[in-house]
Amino acid sequence: MPLRLIYNGRIMGVPKFLSAFDLTWMDLTAVLLFGGGWAAYVYFAAWQGRRVPSLHNSMDRFRREWMVQMVMRDNRMMDVNVMRNITRSSQFFASTTMLILGALIAAMGYVPQAQDVVSGLPYTVKASARLLEIKLLLLVMIFVVAFFKFSWGIRQLGFSGILMAATPKAPADNPEQYAAHINRIARITSYAGSNFNHGLRSYYFALAAMAWLLHPWLMVFATFGVIYILYHREFKSNTLLALVNEDTSPVLKL
């Protein structure tokens, strides 16, 4: 049934399950903009990354160069340590995500108390207990997505470690004879990096979703703020410039 009337901030003339959640037109608009903005940025970043340099695709070049150098080494302890440190980062966020999920699920059992705390803050929109449960459930779903991304990235890094261990040393005059194997490991580590990136994005957008606890429009502003920060860091940051620009200035002797 199409939207027909808005009365006192409540949506009238929509399916009954929406009104059952005590949604206002501001809440519905904020959620749609939040979800649409997140999905649009994911597709935009993937499309833009194929056209211009980004942090992810710039690092892919160095990932492959790393594997080329790896097959040339007899002692690969340095490569093992680098892989271990990368994996540890994903493990840290995966375990932290589980702690956050536990806290959010526990908070859903104290909705009346949380409702009193939130409603007492200035410039907030009072929400019913049912709507507050929906807001917490949205955060739970976001961190579930983050956990799946981080955990899959950990498995991919584990696969990369096995492939690195199975890589024989290449002749010094022709390391590219293992090009297929090098590319295979580089692609899997790239997939792991992409999943780690998606997991971090979930954290950023979770911060925007938390703003919904205070006010729907604050959630909208926070969503666009997160998109701007992600875009700037992935496509306009100084780190990216350092990766893609050649610095040919002489090295200072200490």
Q: What pLDDT score does 208 carry?
A: 94
Q: Kindly indicate the confidence band of residue 6, based on its pLDDT and cuts at 50, 70 and 90.
A: very low
Q: Is residue 252 part of a domain?
A: no
Is pLDDT of 214 > 90? no
In whole angstroms, give the CA distance from residue 61 to residue 65. Answer: 6
pLDDT of residue 247: 62
253 belongs to a structural domain: no
Residue 37 lies in a domain: yes
127's torsion region: left (phi>0), alpha (psi -120 to 50) or beta?
beta
Question: What's the pTM value of the predicted model, to 2 decimals?
Answer: 0.84
Residue 1: pLDDT above 60? no
- Mean per-residue pLDDT, 154-163: 93
Comparison of pLDDT for 204 and 216, the residue scoring more = 204
Q: Are 204 and 41 in contact (CB under 8 A)?
A: no
How are beta strands 10-12 and 5-7 bridged, if at all?
A: antiparallel
pLDDT at 11: 45
Residue 215 pLDDT class (50, 70, 90 cuts):
confident
174 pLDDT higher than 80? no
Using H for helix, E for strand and C for coil, what is the string for the chain?
CCCCEEECCEEECCCHHHHHCCCEHHHHHHHHHHHHHHHHHHHHHHHHHCCCCCHHHHHHHHHHHHHHHHCCCCCCHHHHHHHHHHHHHHHHHHHHHHHHHHHHHHHHHHHHHHHHHHHCCCCCCCCCHHHHHHHHHHHHHHHHHHHHHHHHHHHHHHHHHHHHHCCCCCCCCCHHHHHHHHHHHHHHHHHHHHHHHHHHHHHHHHHHHHHHHCCHHHHHHHHHHHHHHHHHHHHCCHHHHHHHCCCCCCCCCC
Residue 243 located in a structural domain: no
CA distances from 225 to 9, 208, 215, 216, 218 (A): 25, 8, 15, 14, 10
- Per the domain annotation, does 127 fall within a domain? yes
Largest CA distance in the chain: 77
Domain housing 130: 5-238
pLDDT tens digits, one per residue of 74-133: 888 888 899 999 999 999 999 999 999 999 988 888 777 766 666 666 666 676 777 778
Angstrom CA distances, 109 to 130, 180, 233, stand at 12, 53, 37
Q: What is the average pLDDT across 52-76?
A: 88
More confident site: 225 or 18: 225
Q: Which residue has the higher pLDDT, 27 or 138?
A: 138
- Is 254 domain-assigned? no
Q: Look at residue 251 and tell me whether its pLDDT is greater than 60.
A: no
pLDDT at 112: 73
Residue 125 lies in a domain: yes
Tally of structural domains, the chain: 1
Residue 140 in domain: yes
pLDDT of residue 107: 84
pLDDT > 90 fraction of the chain, expressed in percent and rounded? 49
